[in-house]
Structure 1
Amino acid sequence: MLSAQESANLRLYLEQALQCDLKICQLDDKGLAHWHVRLEGTGLLARIPKQSQMGLGPRDNLAYEAACFQRAAACGHVPRLDRVIYPTDQLPWGALLVEEITGSPANSPDHMAAIMQALAAIHALPVPLVRARAPLLSATDPLEAMLGLVRAQAAYLDHPLISEPSRRTLKMRLEKLSQTIPQACDGLEPRLITFDAHPGNFLITPTGKAVLVDLEKLRYSYPPLDLAHATLYTSTTWDVDASFALSMAQVVHAYEVWISAAGTLAAPYLAGFVPLRELMWLWSVTWCAKWLTESVKPKQASGAGGEDWSQANSDAALIQHVRSRVDDYLAMPTIHQVLAELNTLDRLFAPAH
């Protein structure tokens, strides 16, 4: 939680920036990347970075996050960006002021259809020419870029708290997938994706629309990565306020909703559904291994920039929850559960496509 002095500094700075008296209310600490502060009576939230998941300095990180909101705005499923508050000594990471969405957590399998429709709307947005995609990531080879991320994180699987069977299984799956996935992704065109589509990042409005409220990692890559991130066990049980498990039938139905909502856009990506699902899962579990190592390091100097997963950045209750999730996801019973699901999905999707 922000300290009393940090909260006072934030209120003073925002009053000066907005030229009005403010009452602010810090929301519960639910994420490892941001604090959220309600600006009472304005309809706005301040999103205050704790760090940069993109490994950027404070100013570049704000520019990246602002671009995420701006690039996705036309889909109708993201909050409006009001303004950027650039870093200062009092607010070293700066902040984004965004529309506060009235809604409830996406905490039920019944919300998956709305989430898939929201993702389809994002994926359907026009893709700019390559030279106009910056600052958002747009790798020449999105698959190789994703494999590179996972391979880098896989180095953390040697952490002593990870069992040898888990370590061996995950490394084996990554090696095997690296050899087989290129064929499934051959010729796929990148679209705008969220790269952070777990249900905890959505709110469901009173009309039933899903709104993605955390936008900081958008990039141009393959939509099935989002479909996986929205429906994997390692995603649907991640958030403390949006935790549920999907049955196999519910996973398949979610994919079918996306196929219907995406229309003609969907067809080229069908063959990549299962291999890209496994790749997204491997990204998630290798990130868990990374967090075990990086989270015990001291907090970086204020506004230093870059990634900083230190436990000192977040409330103890949040850290306890994250640790429980990490331990679960890296345990062999959970790994076996996900692999069994992948095998079933492969049989279900492969014959028809």
Structure 2
Amino acid sequence: MSPHDDVIPRLRQALQAAGHPHALAALERLPDKGLAHDHLRLVGSGVLARIPKQSQMGWAAADNLAYQRACFERAAAGGHAPVCHGVLPPSAPLPRGALLVQAIEGRTARLPADLGAVARALAALHALPVPESAQRAPLLDPPDPLRALCEEIAIQAGHLAAAGLAPAVARRIDAEGQRLQKRVASHGRPTVHLIAFDAHPGNFIVQPDGRAVLVDLEKCRYGYPGLDLAHATLYTSTTWDVDSHAVLTPGQVVAFYRDWAQAVGPVAAAAQAWHLPLRRAMWLWSVTWCAKWRVTSGARASATADGEDWSGEHSDAALVAHVRERVDHYLSAAVVSRVIDEFAELEREWSA
């Protein structure tokens, strides 16, 4: 039995209880492609329901919805994100509630052909005016985003010992962690902007006019654009989603950063020197997440509707198997070496 067999009647009940104008619309569940949400189309309404399976940010159910709503509302101002149409609060049929957003029509990004469109979509997000500090809540806005990222990575790295890594892999991950800690201890930081922090290519839909739309925005925060640029082009991102799977060359990666710089304008100058350090940091975040998922995904699903929960019981077996295969691949010695070798190639490209 699928863990989602009853999601259509549960969403119907929640829509009717809320008196939603499309409560009687036909409901179509989209293929299970993510570990954090079920997605259901309200057919003919232009609305998509995002029903959380968990909160990747660790929030309580209502706080999770409020955070996601803020993400969509702020990102939509850049013209490359869905409009938020409202919230179904946590209830008996939907213990984690649901976010109702604009249904974007199009196809998954294809690489490398759509790299320019993805770069322009991210540039539109990063170029948005940054509110005064008092106006940035509820989105994460740490006083030192680099230190906060390092601390987040350290928490995930707490699972490395139990993840069964090859000794050579553990050593290389540890060396990258030490490199990041030295960077955190140094002076200087890039400028802060609104970022997605989940910009892997599978999260973009390309519309018929060629415009790329970033459709998964639950992790937005105020941080460094270089993290998004890395997440869009790292091997661990471009080979994650079956529909957008591609292995980029260093030249294609450099061209992507160049397209972003041209589209984002003045923001690019301050970001240039940080492209490689933030690319290393984003990869480190990704592989420590892989270790965390490997260790925690076998647990039973939580009985509470609040917080983080990576249990494989929340997702279709095919998705869990795909994620397990990808995690094993990314934590292999060959792939770790491949990514670190690419860092060296990009360093030569950017310093030439």
- Whether TM-score is above 0.5 comes out as yes
Corresponding position of 1:293: 295
Corresponding position of 1:254: 256
Secondary structure, counterpart of 2:86 in structure 1: strand
CA distance in 2 between partners of 1:347 and 1:5 (Å) = 53
- 1:75–1:182 CA distance, 2 compared to 1 (3 A): farther
Q: Match for 1:241: what amino acid?
A: D
Shift of 1:181: 5.4
CA distance in 2 between partners of 1:33 and 1:292 (Å) = 16
- 1:139 maps onto 2:142 in alignment: yes
Corresponding position of 1:344: 345
Which of 272, 275, 279 is the matching residue for 1:277? 279
Superimposed CA distance per residue, residues 26-54 of structure 1 (whole angstroms, 9 cap, x where no aligned partner): 11100000000011111111000000011
- 1:307 maps onto 2:313 in alignment: no
Which of 31, 37, 42 is the matching residue for 1:28? 31
Corresponding position of 1:103: 106
Q: Match for 1:125: what amino acid?
A: L
Secondary structure, counterpart of 1:87 in structure 2: coil
CA distance in 2 between partners of 1:13 and 1:197 (Å) = 30
| Structure 1: stretches of 5+ with no match in the other structure | none
* Equivalent residues of 1:174, 1:282 under 8 A apart: yes
* Equivalent residues of 1:154, 1:171 under 8 A apart: no
- 1:128 maps onto 2:131 in alignment: yes
Secondary structure, counterpart of 1:110 in structure 2: coil
* Equivalent residues of 1:45, 1:99 under 8 A apart: yes
* Equivalent residues of 1:64, 1:135 under 8 A apart: yes
- 1:174 maps onto 2:181 in alignment: no
Give the aligned length. Answer: 349
Shift of 1:3: 4.0
Q: Match for 2:89: what amino acid?
A: Y
Q: TM-score, normalised by structure 1?
A: 0.96
After TM superposition, the structure 1 = structure 2 runs for residues 119-268 of structure 1, keeping only pairs within 5 Å, are 119-180=122-183, 183=186, 186-268=188-270
Superimposed CA distance per residue, residues 76-103 of structure 1 (whole angstroms, 9 cap, x where no aligned partner): 0001111111100111000011111011
CA distance in 2 between partners of 1:54 and 1:204 (Å) = 27
Superimposed CA distance per residue, residues 150-208 of structure 1 (whole angstroms, 9 cap, x where no aligned partner): 1111121112521111111101121123213554x714221000000000000000000
- Quote the sequence identity (%): 49
Corresponding position of 2:323: 322
Superimposed CA distance per residue, residues 260-309 of structure 1 (whole angstroms, 9 cap, x where no aligned partner): 11111110111100011000000000000000111011100151x11100
* Equivalent residues of 1:143, 1:182 under 8 A apart: no
Q: TM-score, normalised by structure 2?
A: 0.96
Q: Match for 1:345: what amino acid?
A: L
- 1:88–1:145 CA distance, 2 compared to 1 (3 A): same
Q: Match for 1:333: what amino acid?
A: A
Secondary structure, counterpart of 1:89 in structure 2: coil
* Equivalent residues of 2:130, 2:193 under 8 A apart: yes
Secondary structure, counterpart of 2:164 in structure 1: coil
CA distance in 1 between partners of 2:32 and 2:251 (Å) = 33
CA distance in 2 between partners of 1:177 and 1:63 (Å) = 32
CA distance in 2 between partners of 1:3 and 1:264 (Å) = 46
- 1:329–1:4 CA distance, 2 compared to 1 (3 A): closer
Shift of 1:107: 2.5
Shift of 1:22: 2.1
Corresponding position of 1:10: 11
* Equivalent residues of 2:51, 2:98 under 8 A apart: yes
Moved more, 221-230 or 146-155: 146-155
Superimposed CA distance per residue, residues 82-134 of structure 1 (whole angstroms, 9 cap, x where no aligned partner): 11111001110000111110110013211111001000100000101111100
CA distance in 1 between partners of 2:180 and 2:143 (Å) = 20
Shift of 1:236: 0.5
CA distance in 2 between partners of 1:88 and 1:225 (Å) = 35
CA distance in 2 between partners of 1:187 and 1:49 (Å) = 34
Which of 70, 73, 84 is the matching residue for 2:73? 70
